Chain A
């Protein structure tokens, strides 16, 4: 059992668990969404470098988003959310709550507000936006002693990507061994091994990996990336038009599971992944995971200091449900607002118990069959 436990949940070094003897420091991203400008340079750079086909060019009717979610042909996805002051105040409140959760508060008053006084403030909320008059009298707790005034509206922009989980459900459930752990601690699909069983798609707690659609097999009629299947309850009627590239026979790896490789080929050559390289605002940072987490922690503390209690980190804690992620994020609202799960848990953490229950069920089945043969012959 001890072996299972270490392998399936909790903090660990995934590359060492995967028996790499050539051990590189674990690599990862830190995506600081507070300085993202939504330019989608990361999406484009990723497509260029990795030959990822086009995935719908039309804007969705709701925002400047044109792909909707991560998927087989969207390995970086920039989310756009427009929020009113009311919603911003809620985000602040949930952020304050997070700060108070058994942790020393970073904001105990004293310092006056640093409105417009630093670059961080300028990128997060242009000073022109911040007018004390904007704060509604009825907005509950309102700004704290050092909090910035709540602007009228804001745009959240966030570049999402595969989390390269410490305990990656996709990798654990893959029956062919197509998904593997690299020496950098990342998770990569071998597209010449995958047979498109689709198990990883259902297993990923973040909805990242997906089978690529195209002209082959029944994938031509399958659901699209993150866009709900027709008739799905509670979703908008918008469906992405089928990708043109998907029908002209030029798409490779149709029917194969695809996702971010953290540019395994570039990493091997000591290069930075394409998205991080292309990001004009350094919203996407790349490096050793420890360094990324330290940067993330410093940045969130800085934002709290500056009076943005809504800032929070996502994925820096090794004790979370997936054992920590290789991609960490700085968010300005609850994760579900960005389409991220609030408390993901790697499904294989329960696998030993699942097999145990199935064993009991199997014995029950034998028992039922035996009972059927007991009794009078007729």
Chain B
């Protein structure tokens, strides 16, 4: 802090910016010096370009879980509908998929923990302010009902086969009869927990300080439930014979429309800055792929769904589209947390808006 003769040789001060993206936002790189302006522009500085909020330390397992949870929820609904309205193949596929995806998803969640050996600590409390706690209980309840429904499905199949072969009232047959009693309640239970399972993951992401996730909280649940339906419909289109794939095709059609609308609205509401992570980089590529796959798959399933091969291909496209959407949203959140621009600029803007509206008592920075 001293002034010495060598100060004259000091190199020119580097203009420190948050990052190089400012020019793209239409702000010019020169530092604004005109203090006479009444409304200062939202200038953005940062501590050496470092992020302010930390990105979630989650890895691809969590993105995969978002997808698997969707498959599970959507499949449970297809299974329930299939049971009620007599689509046995749809019922069977839906039940297997619901339980299988829920189990895989649970494993992915546990694997991502910093201390996987303490996974069961999730069950030591019920905490309504924590979407992760609420979600753990939703997943547990869903898995219980879905497991029961699947057990009934398997027992009925085995009993049916052994009845056909030996005609005996074996132990398996007795178990099957008992399970048959709980089949109805299990189906209803798993169908009731399916929508919460598909929707809570949106709250899970939104209830963070990650800018793009949090600010999309109004639309993200709608995007996620549609995506869940699409993934489940896709799986059914792959696995169910064409004679029974009508509901899956219609589900794909209506859900693709809903998802596209909800996603567009979400981008609009986020505004140019916060939706940027959804449009650029890896997330942008994934989300563009998702859109193409989803629309292609939905059109394919509606138009060509009575062809077994075309149905299966459309189904695969739908599943891939759903997976790309989950990974894309996941990536976009991480990108928005890493670049301090997405934390500082929207916060500055809302602060200036409040100040312009005369609200001056709710700022964290005060003059006294």
Q: Which A residues are within 8 Å of any B CB, using their own CB?
A: 7-8, 60, 62-63, 65, 68-69, 79, 81, 84, 86-87, 90, 93-95, 97-99, 101-103, 106, 125-126, 128-129, 131, 138, 140-141, 151-155, 169, 172-178, 193-199, 201-207, 209-212, 216-219, 222-223, 226-229, 232-236, 254-257, 297, 300-301, 304, 312-317, 319-322, 325, 331, 334-345, 347-348, 350-351, 353-355, 357-366, 368-378
B residues 208-223 touching A (CB-CB < 8 Å): 208-210, 214, 217-219, 221-222
Alpha-carbon distance between A206 and B52 when the two chains are bound, in angstroms: 6
Contact A341 B363 (CB under 8 A): no
Interface centre among A178, A301, A347, A363 (most CB of B within 10 A): A347
Q: State the Cβ distance, A108 to closest chain B Cβ, in Å.
A: 14
Q: Which of B18, B122, B335 contacts A176 (CB 8 A)?
A: B122
B50 at interface by CB-CB < 8 Å: yes
- The range of chain B's interface size is 35 or more
Shortest C-beta distance, A77 to chain B (Å), equals 10
Closest chain A residue to B250 by CB distance? A372
Say whether B198 faces chain A, with CB atoms less than 8 Å apart: yes
Q: Are B258 and A368 in contact (CB under 8 A)?
A: yes
| 18 A-B pairs in the complex with CB atoms less than 8 angstroms apart | A63-B48, A106-B368, A173-B130, A173-B132, A195-B122, A197-B114, A199-B130, A203-B208, A203-B209, A207-B51, A211-B57, A228-B338, A304-B368, A313-B367, A341-B364, A358-B202, A358-B221, A361-B195
Contact A95 B258 (CB under 8 A): no
Closest to A176 in B: B121
Q: How far is the CB of A73 from chain B (nearest CB, A)?
A: 14
* Cα-based distance from A141 to B115 in the complex (angstroms): 57
CA distance A63 to B7 in the complex (A): 18
Contact A336 B45 (CB under 8 A): yes
Name A7's closest neighbour in chain B (CB-CB).
B129
* A317 to B368 Cα, complex, angstroms: 9
CB-CB under 8 A from A359, the residues of chain B are: 199
Is B77 in the interface zone, CB < 8 Å from A?
yes
Does the CB pair A361–B247 fall under 8 Å?
no
Interface string of B100-126 (1 = CB under 8 A from A): 000000000001111110110110110
Report if A372-B248 is in contact (Cβ < 8 Å); known contacts: A361-B199, A365-B199. Answer: yes
* CB of A139, distance to nearest CB on chain B (Å): 8
Smallest CB separation, A161 vs chain B (Å): 15
Stretch in B148-156, B314-322, B343-351 touching the partner = B343-351
CB 8 Å contact bits of B321-345 with A (1 = contact, 0 = none): 0000000000000110111110110
Q: B2 on the interface (CB 8 Å rule)? A: yes
Considering only CB atoms, which chain A residue lies closest to B10 in the complex? A153
Given A202-B210, A348-B207, verify A197-B132 contact (CB < 8 Å). Answer: yes
- Please measure, in the bound complex, the distance between the C-alpha atom of A378 and the C-alpha atom of B116, giving whole angstroms: 47
Is A173 within 8 A of B129, CB to CB? yes
Taken together as a complex, chains A and B put the C-alpha atoms of A374 and B253 apart, in Å, by 13
Distance of A124 from chain B, by nearest CB (Å): 10
* A37 shortest CB reach to chain B, Å: 10
Q: From known contacts A93-B35, A195-B122, infer whether A232 and B338 are also in contact, taking CB-CB under 8 Å.
A: yes
A108 to B35, CA, bound (A): 19
Q: Judging by beta carbons under 8 Å apart, are A152 and B50 in contact?
A: no
A169: min CB distance to chain B, Å: 6
Decide if B206 is an interface residue (CB 8 Å cutoff): yes
Which of chain A's residues have a CB closer than 8 A to the CB of B133? Answer: 175-176
A324 to chain B, nearest CB (A): 9
Q: What is the minimal beta-carbon distance from B321 to any residue of chain A, in angstroms?
A: 16
> A322 CA to B364 CA in the complex, in Å?
9
Residues of chain B lying within 8 A (CB to CB) of residue A223: 55, 57
- In the complex, the answer to whether A365 meets B194 with C-beta atoms within 8 Å is yes
B34 CB-CB contact with A under 8 Å = yes
Most chain A beta-carbon contacts within 10 A, residue among B59, B84, B133: B133
* A173-B132, A198-B114, A234-B18 known; A102 vs B48 contact (CB < 8 Å): no
Which of B51, B121, B196 interacts with A228 by CB under 8 Å?
B51
